[in-house]
Amino acid sequence: MESEEIELTFRLDAFGRTADIPRPDEEQPVATMDYSSKTCMVNFVAPNTNDCHFLDELLLDCEVADNGLMPRTFWVPSATEDFSPRCTLESMARDVFTHHTSGCAYDPGTSGAEWWVQIRPSPEAGRYSMHDKPHKRIGDGEQKDMSETGISFHWDKDEDLRLLCGGTTYIHPHLSTVTYLTSIGAPTLAVNCRVNNFTGEWIVPGNNVSSEHVQMEGFLSWPKAGKHLSFDGRFLHAAPPDLMEDGAFEKQINYVTKEGLDALEVNRVRRRHRRVTFLVNIWLNYRPFDVQPFPESMINKMSGSVVEVGSLSFKKEGVIDAAILEVPAENVKDTDRKRFVWPLGDCGSGETIRMSIPAEGVQRQYNKAGSVQINWHDNDHVCLHKEGYQREDEGKRQRTN
């Protein structure tokens, strides 16, 4: 059997981000994208302002997009003349892209938004329920799979390209974003640990001369409907469920329906009691391998496909202030510190991250659905660990967030 050759052309800048290909006799403009971790609030805008069930329609759209028979992620190109959103989720992905790239310089022909959704608990026909194999927390065989109620630690990347190149090629989006459609579930946590684009070796602040970051930092966001989180697309991130208090998630997803409700209304109530996130990765000057627009054959199942599409707008208040938590050096007594050990990707990888979290400070933001900037003053507070090194998903494609 003859091997197939695939030729890709892309350029990386000094920070490992995809850059526009230089053109002769053209002055290269300076990009203005904001890569800092931050949150803001958005509005979900119905085409009909009197549509009281618009959010319920979005939650149903997410259930369709998350179906295990569908592709894992979808593409919306940046070039408006080449593509018009055919449903509300495509329109929202374009809105997120436009907001974050305003004033930036990029090649519109190779730039766009990669979008998908995550739902926990996963519906019976959902992607997690149908495809992701059970795996247990490292070091404790009695613990549930981290991804059953949350999302495991991972780097966003061109998934298929990495597998095609043997598992060590990491091409990242410029920006990763999370928009919460419900106020339920585990917080998103992003830390400034990176990975080498072509070797897969970890780049940890303070431990690697190649890291542009001196101090280990993290940003944590508790879910709130209409909250939008963005962070550097090169950063390691997850939604660790054990940052919630014991029983909190089970309490959030529990619901009682009134007698006499029809099946349609019961399903609406069920969808409102899940952790639902709309994820958009912003790719500039590069399109991830084999990521295609939402299937035409399924568009008629989505809201906005028959009438005018809905949209997403960013509120004028701008960035929401985050609480700042300082984690002192290991030799400084700190009763608020709690040590966690989490797997990276599939538990079978033998890779874990060990992290000291200011637990009480994080919990104080839970009731506010707030956000936390964590500054670790000792890089030993966050450690990546390998056991019998094996890459996280040999022969297996996985998309998380």
Q: Helix/strand/coil (H, E, C) string of 326-358?
A: EECCCCCCCCCEEEEEEEECCHHHCEEEEEEEE
Residues 375-393: what's their mean pLDDT?
72
Strands (DSSP E) along 121-263, which ranges? 151-154, 175-180, 188-191, 194-195, 202-203, 216-221, 227-232, 236-239
Average pLDDT of the chain to the nearest whole number: 88
Q: Which residue has the higher pLDDT, 69 or 4?
A: 69
Q: Is the pLDDT of residue 275 over 50?
A: yes
d(CA 37, CA 42): 16
Name the residue among 95, 48, 87 with its Cα closest to residue 301: 87
DSSP-derived pairing of the beta strands 175-180 and 74-77? unpaired
- The order of strands in the sheet holding 175-180 is 74-77, 112-120, 275-283, 175-180, 227-232, 38-45, 311-314
pLDDT by residue (tens digit) across 192-215? 999 999 999 999 997 765 666 678
d(CA 71, CA 295): 9
Please work out, in degrees rounded to the nearest 5, the angle formed at the alpha carbon of residue 209 by the alpha carbons of 208 and 215.
65
Give DSSP secondary structure letters for 87-133: SHHHHHHHHHHHHHHTT----GGG-EEEEEEEEESPPTTBHHHHHPP
Residues of the chain above pLDDT 70, percent? 86
pLDDT at 161: 93
The first and second tokens of residue 245, run together, are 């208090």
Neighbours of 207 (CB within 10 A): 15
Q: Give yes or no for a contact between 346 and 135, defined as CB atoms under 8 angstroms apart.
A: yes
pLDDT category at 257 given cuts 50, 70, 90 is confident
Give DSSP secondary structure letters for 263-307: HHHHHHHHHHTSEEEEEEEEESS---TT--PSPGGGGGGSTTSSS
d(CA 151, CA 145): 10
* Residue 280 identity: V
Q: Is the pLDDT of residue 92 over 70?
A: yes
d(CA 197, CA 199): 6
Q: Is the pLDDT of residue 85 over 90?
A: yes
pLDDT category at 332 given cuts 50, 70, 90 is confident
Residues 59-83: what's their mean pLDDT?
95
pLDDT category at 95 given cuts 50, 70, 90 is very high
pLDDT by residue (tens digit) across 291-323? 999 999 999 999 988 778 999 999 999 999 999
pLDDT at 22: 67
pLDDT at 80: 82
pLDDT at 141: 46
Q: So where are the chain's domains?
A: 35-319
Q: Is the pLDDT of residue 57 over 50?
A: yes
pLDDT at 329: 83
Beta-carbon contacts of 79 under 8 Å, excluding residues fewer than 6 positions away, are 108, 109
pLDDT at 391: 37
Q: Is the pLDDT of residue 66 over 50?
A: yes
Residues 108-115: what's their mean pLDDT?
97
The secondary structure element, H or E, covering residue 211 is none
* Phi, psi angle pair for 219, to nearest 5°: -135, 125
d(CA 360, CA 338): 9
Neighbours of 143 (CB within 10 A): 12
Q: Which residue has the higher pLDDT, 35 or 351?
A: 35
Q: Is the pLDDT of residue 9 over 90?
A: no
Q: Give yes or no for a contact between 381 and 327, defined as CB atoms under 8 angstroms apart.
A: yes
Lowest mean pLDDT among 58-67, 77-86, 116-125: 77-86
Alpha carbon separation from 189 to 52, 95, 314, 355 (Å, rounded) = 32, 24, 22, 11
Q: Is the pLDDT of residue 184 over 50?
A: yes
Q: Per the omega criterion (within 30 degrees of 0), is the bond before 121 cis?
A: yes
230 SS3 class: strand
pLDDT at 208: 60
Q: Give yes or no for a contact between 169 and 161, defined as CB atoms under 8 angstroms apart.
A: yes
Block residue for tokens 């007594």: 333
Block residue for tokens 């690697």: 208
pLDDT by residue (tens digit) across 127-172? 999 987 444 444 444 446 789 999 999 999 999 999 998 899 999 9
Lowest mean pLDDT among 171-185, 201-215, 357-371: 201-215
Q: Is the pLDDT of residue 380 over 50?
A: yes
Q: Give yes or no for a contact between 51 and 303, defined as CB atoms under 8 angstroms apart.
A: no
